């Protein structure tokens, strides 16, 4: 596959949605699907779907549409989720523990293999999720990242310490950060960051409520 750093991120996000819907179809034993059918299920136009997929190659078959199992494999390969990725998690508070026990990650090929937290009451405790993982102090991060070839990290620590922890993660070798802390992280261009800002989501909805009721 050609490396495709010119693809707009919204197209990549939609690729995830296509994959999810394809997996639903596959579970229902559907062998083929048209861009029209796929779009109807997702509220996305078929032209948009064809355009998004065209960034990555030729996928349809004339008179057939897309072959579901084939397109699943190819989209997974594009996203890099055709193989399992080791992931680390920093922050073993409520949110961190919920994320660890969330089965959706491992279903998608992401395995949380290490958990860090510097709270002395938490270090050494074993968390039981999809696997059992012992909470480590962040001083051990460098070695763990190296030993498990980890490049993806989840940050679930309070806002005031988030930047310092992110710096530690990057210096240990993490190159992609899923950030749950309510701060704008400053990282170098070699690091990809995706932020899940829960309060911002609620504020958006609150604003929209004002509009629909106004």
Identify the CA nearest to 58 among candidates 42, 73, 71, 46.
71
Query: Minimal distance in Å, beta carbon 114 to a copy of itself?
Result: 16
Q: Of 63 and 121, which CB lies nearer to a copy of itself in the complex structure?
A: 121
Q: Of 123 and 183, which CB lies nearer to a copy of itself in the complex structure?
A: 183
Which helix (H) or strand (E) covers residue 66, if one does?
Answer: strand 66-67
**Rounded to the nearest 5°, which phi and psi values hold at 129?**
-125, -135
Q: Of 139 and 194, which CB lies nearer to a copy of itself in the complex structure?
A: 194
Q: Of 54 and 200, which CB lies nearer to a copy of itself in the complex structure?
A: 200
Query: Minimal distance in Å, beta carbon 62 to a copy of itself?
Result: 28
Q: Of 61 and 125, which CB lies nearer to a copy of itself in the complex structure?
A: 125
Query: Minimal distance in Å, beta carbon 138 to a copy of itself?
Result: 20
Which helix (H) or strand (E) covers residue 75, if one does?
Answer: helix 68-79
CA–CA distance, 157 with 93 (Å, rounded to integer): 8
Query: Minimal distance in Å, beta carbon 147 to a copy of itself?
Result: 19
Judge whether 69 and 12 are in contact, CB under 8 Å: no
> What residues are paired with 85 via a beta bridge?
110
Q: Where are the beta strands (DSSP E) in 119-214?
A: 126-128, 132-136, 152-155, 176-179, 192-195
Query: Minimal distance in Å, beta carbon 60 to a copy of itself?
Result: 21
Judged by phi (left if over 0) then psi (alpha if -120 to 50, else beta), residue 173 lies in: left
Name the site residues for a copy of itself (rule: CB under 8 A). 3-5, 9, 12-13, 15-17, 19-21, 41-43, 78-81, 85, 87, 94-95, 97-99, 101-102, 104-105, 107-110, 151-152, 175-178, 182-184, 186, 190, 192, 194, 196-214
CA–CA distance, 144 with 24 (Å, rounded to integer): 36
Q: Of 23 and 70, which CB lies nearer to a copy of itself in the complex structure?
A: 23
Query: Minimal distance in Å, beta carbon 3 to a copy of itself?
Result: 3
């Amino acid at each position: 596959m050609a490396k495709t750093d010119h693809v707009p991120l919204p197209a990549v996000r939609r690729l995830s949605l296509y994959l999810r819907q394809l997996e639903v179809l596959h579970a229902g034993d559907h062998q083929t699907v048209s861009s029209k059918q796929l779009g109807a299920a997702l509220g996305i136009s078929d032209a948009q779907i064809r355009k998004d997929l065209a960034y990555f190659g030729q996928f349809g078959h004339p008179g057939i549409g897309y072959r579901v199992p084939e397109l699943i494999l190819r989209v997974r390969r594009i996203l890099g989720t055709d193989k399992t990725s080791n992931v680390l998690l920093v922050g073993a508070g409520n949110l961190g523990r919920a994320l660890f026990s969330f089965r959706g990650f491992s279903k998608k090929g992401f395995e949380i293999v290490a958990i860090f937290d510097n709270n002395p009451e938490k270090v050494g405790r074993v968390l039981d999720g999809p696997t059992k993982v012992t909470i480590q102090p962040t001083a051990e991060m460098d070695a763990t990242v190296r030993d498990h070839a980890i490049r993806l990290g989840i940050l679930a620590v309070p806002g005031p310490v988030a930047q310092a922890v992110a710096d530690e993660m990057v210096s240990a070798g993490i190159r992609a950060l899923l950030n749950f802390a309510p701060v704008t992280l400053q990282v170098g261009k070699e690091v990809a960051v995706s932020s899940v800002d829960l309060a911002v989501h609620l504020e958006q909805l609150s604003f929209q409520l004002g509009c629909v009721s106004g």
